[in-house]
């Protein structure tokens, strides 16, 4: 068994560029036939994953991929938010990058690290100056839990400002995470009490399906919590999830560029979904969720 | 592009019988454009199966593939701790039966010498050999192999093609571990669709040593296919990964058994 020889670097790069262009052309054709309701990706990032380069971690490349697949809006937060301390700087940069790339495609989502002084002022600035309508929190990277009084203050202020709160429960499979940044998943259970105490609070949990399933997930959904499908696994995963979860609670989300965008897209094909369900998951739920925030 | 899936199971999908489960899995595979599935292990799994349990799991697979001979290939599930029983299963299911590959999981680390007679006999039969591997920060099972164990095994059998299941899951390390072993193939299945996986595998191993697998039904076909469909690699590389490499590995045993594809 002699496998084919390795590509030379030049051949590889040339072929890669050609393949990407061809893929974009084909996908543009597919996008033209996409439902008029559009496709809202509630879960993308700009910036770089700290531990590897992703092929689409430049905004222009990500925007091209999203456009090629018919995405009409993408809620973009900053990966820099995980470890950077200058949150004001990265929020300003995020707002500028979203404005510069995509001609309105990218919807900036605020970063916030409430373990740093001045977080309240920064969140207010995101709402008033940057006109951001959502904030994405990473409690596990910023060393607080949703049971901490600090979390109640953060979520309370977000609700007061009319911001949707997105919380990824994890960023990586805990089995293969970098050993120096062994971050546990966020425990979502305290959200139940927070939602009771803060009636105006709107929450979407991202990357939730590895660690939150069954009754705890459904209970939060009954309180209005929304989810994305980025790390939903198992064959016909959307069908199985929606056999329990009200369809109004599920939004399209890809976790690009950390995950291949196509994973989320193909999930809508793997499950047999009627037009109403597809429209809800692709965009209607997201539009409603952000409009309420 | 033609798609053959190296890595499927009968656990985790609806169906009262093995054949019903495979039928349900194939119906989903049809929607995803997957032509053939390699199936191993039974309706319920054991990490360290007794000889009886091993036979029962393999019986499940035999029943399932008998119903869909044109769509599915069976791999025999073996436990190297029970070397004699494993060799007997290899004879029953591959030499005398319709199966075309071997699945080795987590009963015993694959660097152990107990695997040697199994690998030798499987190679004589031209069976495709698949060894699960994982690097778990949370701790591997006692008998769970790492890609280093896999390399140790491959080094003792330098002419036998072997497939490194999951490529260690921590795939950047797994790819580097097997890079210098020309007979080692990377299985893309069973971990998150992290962007860059297929690109690195093709860059470091060559597209001829990378094979698509899903680990369905526990994993979605979607997340695993995305690793190839979404990768910034040439279409020629995608064709190799999605079916041609697996066909090349299977061709000797299919030919020996008179199976046309």
State whether CATH 3.30.1860.10 applies to domain B4-257: no
Would you call B222 and A266 a contact, using CB atoms and an 8 Å cutoff? Answer: yes
pLDDT score recorded for residue A192:
98
Q: Tokens standing for A15?
A: 């072929």
- Spell out the domain ranges in chain A: 33-292
Q: Tokens standing for A128?
A: 């008033």
B223 contacts in chain A (CB < 8 Å):
233, 259, 263, 266-267
Buried b (16+ CB within 10 A) or exposed e, B95-129: eebbbbbbbbbbbbbbbbebbeebbebbbebbbbb
- Spell out the domain ranges in chain B: 4-257
Selection from A287, A279, A268, A257 nearest residue A65 by Cα: A257
A176, A235, A257: residue with CB nearest B220: A235
> Could you tell me which residues are beta bridge partners of residue B131?
B104, B164
Give the CATH architecture of domain A33-292: Alpha-Beta Barrel (3.20)
As a whole number of angstroms, the distance between CA B211 and CA B178 comes to 14
pLDDT score recorded for residue A37:
67
Would you call A235 and B206 a contact, using CB atoms and an 8 Å cutoff? Answer: no
As a whole number of angstroms, the distance between CA B245 and CA B212 comes to 9
CA atoms within 13 A on the CB side of B28: 30
> Could you tell me which residues are beta bridge partners of residue A250?
A227
Long-range contacts of A198-203 (CB under 8 A, 24+ apart): A198/A152, A198/A155, A198/A156, A198/A159, A200/A159, A200/A160, A200/A162, A201/A155, A201/A156, A201/A158, A201/A159, A201/A165, A202/A159, A202/A164, A202/A165, A202/A226, A202/A289, A202/A292, A202/A293, A203/A155, A203/A164, A203/A165, A203/A166, A203/A167
Mean pLDDT by 10 residues, chain A (293 residues): 33 37 38 60 96 96 97 98 97 97 95 97 98 98 98 98 98 94 96 98 98 97 98 98 98 98 98 97 96 68
B196 contacts in chain A (CB < 8 Å):
52-55
Q: Is B182 touching A (CB cutoff 8 A)?
A: yes
The label of the residue with tokens 């599915």 reads: B72
As a whole number of angstroms, the distance between CA B247 and CA B191 comes to 23
Residue B20 · residue B63 · CB < 8 Å? no
Residue B28 · residue A270 · CB < 8 Å? yes
The chain A residue lying nearest B211, using CA atoms, is: A3
Query: Angle between the B171-178 and B147-156 helix axes, to the nearest 10 degrees?
Result: 20
A234 contacts in chain B (CB < 8 Å):
12, 217-220
As a whole number of angstroms, the distance between CA A43 and CA A282 comes to 12
Contacts of A32 (CB under 8 A, 6+ apart): none
What parts of chain B have a pLDDT lower than 50? none
Question: SS3 of B115, please?
Answer: helix
């Amino acid at each position: 068994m002699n496998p084919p020889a390795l590509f030379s670097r030049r051949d590889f790069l040339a072929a890669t560029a050609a393949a990407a262009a061809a893929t974009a052309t084909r996908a543009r054709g597919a996008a033209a036939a996409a439902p008029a309701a559009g496709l809202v990706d509630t879960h993308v990032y700009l910036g770089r994953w700290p531990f590897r380069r992703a092929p689409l971690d430049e905004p222009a490349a990500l925007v091209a991929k999203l456009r090629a697949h018919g995405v009409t809006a993408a809620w973009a937060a900053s990966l820099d938010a995980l470890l950077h301390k200058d949150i004001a700087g990265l929020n300003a940069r995020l707002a500028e990058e979203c404005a510069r790339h995509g001609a309105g495609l990218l919807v900036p989502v605020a970063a916030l690290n409430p373990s740093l002084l001045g977080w309240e002022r920064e969140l207010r600035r995101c709402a008033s100056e940057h006109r951001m309508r959502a904030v994405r929190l990473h409690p596990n990277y910023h060393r607080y839990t949703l049971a901490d009084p600090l979390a109640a203050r953060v979520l309370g202020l977000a609700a007061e400002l009319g911001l949707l709160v997105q919380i990824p429960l994890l960023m990586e499979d805990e089995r293969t995470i970098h050993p120096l940044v062994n971050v546990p998943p966020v425990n979502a259970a305290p959200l139940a009490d927070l939602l009771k105490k803060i009636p105006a609070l709107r929450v979407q949990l991202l990357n939730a399906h590895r660690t939150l399933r069954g009754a705890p997930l459904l209970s939060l959904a009954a309180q209005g919590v929304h989810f994305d499908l980025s790390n939903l696994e198992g064959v016909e995963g959307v069908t199985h999830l929606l056999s329990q979860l009200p369809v109004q609670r599920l939004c399209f989300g890809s976790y690009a560029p950390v995950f291949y965008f196509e994973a989320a897209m193909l999930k809508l094909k793997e499950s047999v979904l009627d037009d109403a369900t597809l429209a809800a998951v692709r965009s209607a739920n997201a539009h409603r969720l952000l409009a309420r925030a | 592009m033609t798609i053959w899936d190296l890595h499927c199971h009968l656990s985790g999908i609806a169906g009262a019988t093995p054949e019903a489960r495979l039928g349900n899995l194939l119906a989903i595979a049809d929607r995803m454009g997957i032509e053939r599935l390699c199936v191993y292990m039974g309706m319920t799994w054991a990490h360290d199966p007794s000889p009886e349990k091993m036979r029962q799991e393999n019986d499940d697979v035999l029943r399932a593939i008998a119903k869909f001979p044109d769509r599915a290939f069976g791999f025999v599930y073996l436990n190297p701790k029970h070397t004699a029983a494993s060799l007997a299963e290899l004879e029953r299911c591959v030499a005398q039966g319709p199966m075309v590959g071997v699945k080795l999981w987590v009963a015993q680390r694959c660097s152990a010498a107990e695997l040697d007679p199994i690998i030798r006999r499987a190679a004589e039969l031209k069976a495709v050999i698949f060894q699960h591997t994982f690097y778990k920060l949370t701790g591997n099972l006692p008998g769970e192999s790492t890609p280093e164990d896999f390399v140790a095994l491959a080094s003792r059998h330098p002419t036998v093609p072997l497939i490194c299941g999951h490529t260690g899951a921590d795939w950047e390390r797994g790819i580097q571990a097997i890079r210098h072993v020309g007979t080692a193939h990377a299985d893309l299945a069973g971990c998150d669709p992290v962007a860059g996986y297929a690109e690195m595998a093709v860059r470091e191993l060559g597209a001829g040593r990378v094979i698509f697998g899903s680990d369905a039904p526990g994993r979605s076909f979607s997340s695993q296919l995305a690793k190839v469909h979404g990768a910034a690699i040439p279409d020629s590389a995608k064709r190799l990964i999605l079916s041609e490499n697996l066909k090349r590995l299977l061709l000797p045993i299919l030919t020996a058994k008179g199976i046309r594809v």
